[in-house]
Structure 1
Amino acid sequence: MRTFDRPSDYLDAAREMADSGRPALARMLAEEAADLTPDPQAVARILAQFPGHTLRPED
């Protein structure tokens, strides 16, 4: 069973989803990784790897 404890866990899953043709799911997983990443530059790099619009509801 896979666990998601670290940003890298989400990024690995995001890459798998992107490779399998699921860009929306890849973006969602990348956003979760970004949320767990404290460095703003790293956050920008993560989100740039998985372009697209967020599927999160706006507050």
Structure 2
Amino acid sequence: MPQTYNRAADYLDAAREMADSGRPALARLLAEEAADRTPDPNEAARILDEFPGGTLRRES
């Protein structure tokens, strides 16, 4: 069954998988998306702290 991304937890799980497989940039992007989908600002900050580094997003 294909992976779906409907919840912050889905993005966070994928971020951890990417970090474990040596893809820190992709892990950070997925963590940023998880944080964006998290209504609690403290939890969002905790998610971003788990995946250090600056944002890799391009804003248009």
Deviation of the 1:57 alpha carbon: 2.1
- CA RMSD, 1 decimal: 1.0
TM-score by length of 1: 0.94
The percentage of counterpart residues that share the same residue type is: 73
Query: 2: distance between equivalents of 1:24 and 1:13?
Result: 12
Structure 1, unmatched stretches of 5+, are none
Equivalent residue letter for 2:56: L
Query: 1: distance between equivalents of 2:57 and 2:29?
Result: 8
Residue in 2 that maps onto 1:6: 7
Cα shift readout 1:23-56 (whole Å, capped 9, x = no counterpart): 0000000000001001000010000000011111
Deviation of the 1:58 alpha carbon: 4.5
- Detail structure 1 runs of 4+ shifted over 4 Å in the superposition: none
Equivalent residue letter for 1:26: A
Query: 2: distance between equivalents of 1:58 and 1:28?
Result: 13
TM-score by length of 2: 0.93
